[in-house]
Structure 1
Amino acid sequence: MVLEKHPKAEALIFDLDGTLSDSLPVHIATWHKVCAHYNCTFNEKIIEEMTGMPTISFAERVIAENNLQGVDPNEIVKMKQETFWDHASLLKPHQPVVDLMLKYHGKIPMAVGTGASRRSAEVQLEKLGLTKYFDAIVTADDVTKHKPEPETFLKCAELLGIKAENCQVLEDGVLGMEAAKTAGMYLIDVRPFTYENFGQ
């Protein structure tokens, strides 16, 4: 299915995991491997509910659900990220989204707005050969209020020099879609490849 830009959108902002990068299978496998190390289980519903949030939030949820007393969430984050980076070669692009990106590269400004860490975003974009296409990258390390708060996308708009209401977000996560709505931006939900307009 072909995705298309809203005719009034002057900039495109792309989520990364599950949007540009078909990374969820790798993330899920990585979380299962980490949880096996801690002799606990990973509830895959966490991915659906929390996509867009930083890894530390996932680690805290895993600790709470499995009653991992005395476990440092930062240690879980470290293991999760390093394991994910080690398996980055398994990542594949989400082609309909990448096709839209390629179509408008050089024509309008484009940014990545992700809940991933700076390092994770750079690893994924590099492995997928996409780094050069973006004018700005905003990660979990660059904001204080993560999705569903709109700060990530608003910062993208600011860096691109485009008003928020003239930006269009591509997202697969419920929290990211909330953030796009709150920011007043146009939105493409890439899961069913439906188009919605939340701009003015």
Structure 2
Amino acid sequence: MEKKLEIYPGTKALIFDLDGTLADNMPIHFLAFRNVLKEYKVDLKPELFMSLAGVPAVETIAHYNEIFGVQMDPEKVGHQKEAEYEKIMHKMKPVEPVVALLKKYHGKLPMAVGTGGYRRLAERTMQIIGIDQYVDILVSADDVQHPKPHPETFLKCAEKMGVAPEFCQVFEDGEPGMQAARTAGMMVTSVNDFYEMDFSLV
């Protein structure tokens, strides 16, 4: 039986997270982090990595410092991780059911992408998975003061679309992002049941 993503009654606009929601690239982000953190004698496991899904790299590294009792420079290591990710990001694939929904409602409902990633990498990601021509509004880590789980990313998406938050449906894979959507007063759909994340590749 194939599961289907549904639009809730009353939805007037759609907001999509990018990494792990439209793009099946979380294992690639994990691999980039793991490769860089090896230098700092940190052995990163997928479970811990996924618990911070949607949180920008700099904040994630600050969390790792606390958890592992290390003192990595979040800015420096964040940029190392992004550079490593760029080398291998071509391996990502689209999350087909979510991308199909985005294409189905393109031109019918206002849509935006709200990501914890940097704009440059988010734009490249959308090109790789073939959705850049479907997305007019992108709110990235470069556009907000407070990343997820703070609701600013999604509230900015709603503002740019001209739709009140309560009429926006958010598609997310990470708990911080789902929390951000709930705090913003939006409807939330987890996409985690619609594909299997394969960490065996890394």
**1:18 alignment partner in structure 2:** 20
User: Does 1:190 pair with 2:191?
Assistant: yes
Q: In structure 2, how many angstroms separate the alpha carbons of the residues matched to 1:180 and 1:38? A: 34
Unaligned runs of 5+ in 1: 194-200
Q: In structure 1, how many angstroms separate the alpha carbons of the residues matched to 2:35 and 2:186? A: 37
Cα distance per residue 1:65-106 (max 9 Å; x no partner): 33334x322111111001111111111101110010010011
Equivalent residues, number: 192
Amino acid corresponding to residue 161 of structure 2 in structure 1: L
Q: What SS class does the counterpart of residue 87 from structure 1 fall into?
A: helix
Q: CA deviation at 1:182?
A: 1.4
Listed as ranges, the matches of 1:101-112 within 5 Å are: 101-112=102-113
Q: TM-score, normalised by structure 1?
A: 0.90
Listed as ranges, the matches of 1:158-177 within 5 Å are: 158-177=159-178
Cα distance per residue 1:19-45 (max 9 Å; x no partner): 001111111111111112223211433
User: Does 1:128 pair with 2:113?
Assistant: no
User: Does 1:77 pair with 2:78?
Assistant: yes
Which segment drifts farther, 89-98 or 40-49?
40-49
Task: Quote the RMSD (CA, aligned, Å).
Answer: 1.4
**2:148 alignment partner in structure 1:** 147
User: Does 1:3 pair with 2:5?
Assistant: yes
Q: Is contact 1:85–1:123 with CA below 8 Å preserved after alignment? A: no
**2:92 alignment partner in structure 1:** 91
Amino acid corresponding to residue 41 of structure 1 in structure 2: D
Q: CA deviation at 1:114?
A: 0.9
Q: In structure 2, how many angstroms separate the alpha carbons of the residues matched to 1:183 and 1:111? A: 15
Q: In structure 1, how many angstroms separate the alpha carbons of the residues matched to 2:150 and 2:64? A: 22
Q: Is contact 1:147–1:176 with CA below 8 Å preserved after alignment? A: yes
Q: CA deviation at 1:123?
A: 1.8
Q: Is contact 1:18–1:24 with CA below 8 Å preserved after alignment? A: yes
Q: In structure 2, how many angstroms separate the alpha carbons of the residues matched to 1:153 and 1:61? A: 23
Q: Is contact 1:113–1:139 with CA below 8 Å preserved after alignment? A: yes
User: Does 1:181 pair with 2:185?
Assistant: no
Q: What SS class does the counterpart of residue 168 from structure 1 fall into?
A: strand
Q: In structure 2, how many angstroms separate the alpha carbons of the residues matched to 1:6 and 1:92? A: 26
Q: Is contact 1:41–1:66 with CA below 8 Å preserved after alignment? A: no
Q: What SS class does the counterpart of residue 192 from structure 1 fall into?
A: helix
2:48 to 34, 46, 49: 46
Which segment drifts farther, 136-145 or 40-49?
40-49
Unaligned runs of 5+ in 2: 195-202
